[in-house]
Amino acid sequence: MNGWDREYDISMGEYIELFDKSMRKEQESNIEFLEDNLSKMFDRKAVVCNSGTDALFFSLLSLKIGKGDEVLTTNFSWISTASVISMTGATPVFCDIDILSYHMSLDSIKKMYSPKVKAIIYPHLFGNMSDTSKIKEFCQEKNIYFIEDACQSIGSSYNKVLAGSIGDISTLSFNANKVVSGIAGGGAILTDGDTEIFKRLRKHGEGKHLGYNSKMLLFNAEVINYRLNKLSDYIKRRQLAAKYYDEQLSEYVTIQHNPDNLNHNYHKYVVRFQNKEVRDRVKAKIGQIHYSKPISENAMYDAIDHRKDDYIVSKIVSDTILSLPISPYITEKEQDKVINTILLLI
């Protein structure tokens, strides 16, 4: 459930106008208006591409990370956060997470560091954010890049600092389940450095170097831009829905820990249950699991080179977590149904 169908019902005329406007133009260019809008929002340069996965992959390539290098990442996230490392030929090093935030643990980062580590890919999972200052200090001390995976956290901020403005390079995703979605996915790279490399990587066929086909088409860019301009409204609505879940559920399940000074976009509203059996019983009726296992337990890592810390916390969380339905357009009646189902089954 992401509510885009409901938004279309409300704003059909505006969507048709966007379609009509872009159908009269070349689809493979003219997307700079979206990059300009993102640049203004983040006060950095922006290059759009086909997906958040490509945005992360291109970030690593631009830093010349590849075979023989290691990259620290979390063992609890969507697979892209790690698979992009292997795509470059480098070795992912899986760190465990913090039990309250579900974000990468500094202790695990320190434990898993080796002189081969060239970067860290750090996602603000579920749109929530933690204080990353100690991790950034560690990166500076070791001279490694901090790649901020802000794919789930567009519009979130911590101490008034926006997700997407913290990393040496930061990335966004506009896939169908994100707070701002394109109709055909999409991604963006945010940087204060050179953007030419990203433009070259997203469009092959020109120049001396290998590139990829990762262009964003115009109509998709129009839809993303339209939704980007509604982002603060989406977030307010999601926060109201989250508050209602918090009020009704906090006595019965573990709700997400939110630090003070967090402006949470509630990309996901997650709760945890006392054990896997109860979680699975509730899941049979409602919700989705993000994520059902630590990344290193995916079968592909049987054959792919990696290192990993003990992942006790990642395992506990993946066994007990559930994402409840949330969108800017969810109704209180729909939320009541979710709440009552949980109360009946725990």
Ligand X SMILES: Cc1ncc(COP(=O)(O)O)c(C=O)c1O
The residue within the footprint of ligand X, chosen from 187, 294, 325, 328 (CB under 6 A), is: 187
Site for ligand X in 233-252 (CB under 6 A): none
Q: Is 102 in the site for ligand X (CB under 6 A)?
A: no
CA distance 173 to 175: 6
Q: Is 173 in the site for ligand X (CB under 6 A)?
A: yes
Q: Is 108 in the site for ligand X (CB under 6 A)?
A: no
Q: Is 148 in the site for ligand X (CB under 6 A)?
A: no
Taking phi over 0 as left and psi of -120 to 50 as alpha, with beta for the rest, 292 belongs to alpha
- Minimum distance of ligand X from residue 290's CB (angstroms): 8
CA angle 328/329/334 to nearest 5° reads 120
Of residues 284 and 300, the one with the C-beta less far from ligand X: 300
DSSP structural state of residue 96: P
Q: Is 191 in the site for ligand X (CB under 6 A)?
A: no
Of residues 132 and 335, the one with the C-beta less far from ligand X: 132
Site for ligand X in 301-320 (CB under 6 A): none
Q: Is 288 in the site for ligand X (CB under 6 A)?
A: no
Of residues 165 and 248, the one with the C-beta less far from ligand X: 165
Q: Is 86 in the site for ligand X (CB under 6 A)?
A: no
Give the number of other CB atoms < 10 A from CB of residue 132: 22
Of residues 77 and 108, the one with the C-beta less far from ligand X: 77
β-pair partners for 311? none
Secondary structure of residue 172 in the 3-state scheme:
strand
Q: Is 138 in the site for ligand X (CB under 6 A)?
A: no
CA distance 84 to 180: 22
Q: Is 214 in the site for ligand X (CB under 6 A)?
A: no
- Minimum distance of ligand X from residue 175's CB (angstroms): 4
Q: Is 128 in the site for ligand X (CB under 6 A)?
A: no
Strands laid side by side in the 157-158 sheet = 161-162, 157-158, 262-263
The residue within the footprint of ligand X, chosen from 3, 127, 167, 185 (CB under 6 A), is: 185
Q: Is 88 in the site for ligand X (CB under 6 A)?
A: no
In degrees and rounded to multiples of 5, residue 298 shows phi and psi of -65, 140
- Minimum distance of ligand X from residue 124's CB (angstroms): 8
Strands laid side by side in the 254-255 sheet = 254-255, 269-272, 321-324
- Alpha helices per DSSP H over the chain: 4-23, 32-42, 52-62, 80-87, 106-112, 133-142, 196-202, 218-228, 231-249, 276-283, 312-320, 332-345
Q: Is 149 in the site for ligand X (CB under 6 A)?
A: yes
Q: Is 152 in the site for ligand X (CB under 6 A)?
A: yes
For residue 174, which of 102, 239, 226 has the smallest C-alpha distance?
Answer: 226
- Alpha helices per DSSP H over 127-229: 133-142, 196-202, 218-228
Site for ligand X in 24-63 (CB under 6 A): 51-53, 56
**Residues contributing to the site for ligand X (CB under 6 A):** 51-53, 56, 77-78, 80-81, 123, 149, 151-152, 173, 175, 185, 187
